[in-house]
Amino acid sequence: MNKRNKKKGFTLIELIVVMAIIAILVGIAVPQITKQINNSKIRSDVATAKTIAGALQQYMAEGNTITASGKQKIEENTVVSSDGKTKIDLKKYIDNATAILKPKANTSYDFYYEYDPSNNTLKIFAGPSANNAEELYPVLSDKYTVNIKQDNNTQNNNAQNNDK
C-alpha cells in the first residue's frame, strides 16, 4: 500500500542540477563551435585567394599582362588589364565560378591583388581598402582574423550611408 502513495517524478533540486550541467556544457561548446566556424571562414578566404592567384597566373601564362602598380581591387570577379581599359573576367579561368568572389571572414572586405613583374610575384590580399588589406596568398598574415563586431559595424555604417 505504501507503494501506491509514493509520488513519481523528479524533485526540483534534481531538475536544477540537470539544468546547471546543461548550461555548463553549452558554455563550453558554443565558444568552441564559434571558433571553428571563424577558422573555416579564414580557410575559405585563403582557398579563394589561391583560386584567384591561379586564375591570374593562367591569364598571364596566355601571354597577357595585368596592372602592376600597387594593390588593385577585384570587383565583381574582374580585374583590369595592364592597358587600364580591358576588364578580365576571372570566371573564365575558374571552374564552376558562379558567385562573386568576396571574403567570408569579413563580408564588407574585398579581395586585392598586387603583381610585381620584376620579381614575377603575385600576392592576394583581403581588407576594407587597399591600404588596410592583409595578405592571404602566398603567405597568410597573422593579422587576418574574423572580426564580427567590426564586420557588423561596417554593414550598419554602409546601410546608413545608402539611406542618405
pLDDT score, position 81: 73
**How many angstroms separate the CA atoms of 128 and 112, rounded?**
10
Name the average pLDDT for the chain. 83
pLDDT score, position 3: 58
State the pTM of this model. 0.74
pLDDT at 16 over 90: yes
For residues 115-136, give the mean pLDDT. Answer: 92
pLDDT score, position 136: 95
Percent of the chain exceeding pLDDT 70 equals 84
pLDDT score, position 44: 93
For residues 98-117, give the mean pLDDT. Answer: 88
pLDDT score, position 145: 82
User: Among the ranges 19-28, 137-146, 153-162, which has the highest mean pLDDT value?
Assistant: 19-28
pLDDT band at 153 (very low <50, low <70, confident <90, very high): very low
pLDDT score, position 155: 39
Residues 6+ away with beta carbon under 8 Å from 72: 66, 79, 80, 112, 113, 114, 130
pLDDT band at 152 (very low <50, low <70, confident <90, very high): very low
Would you list the domain boundaries of the chain? 12-147
Choice among 28-37, 51-60, 101-110, 149-158 with the minimum mean pLDDT: 149-158
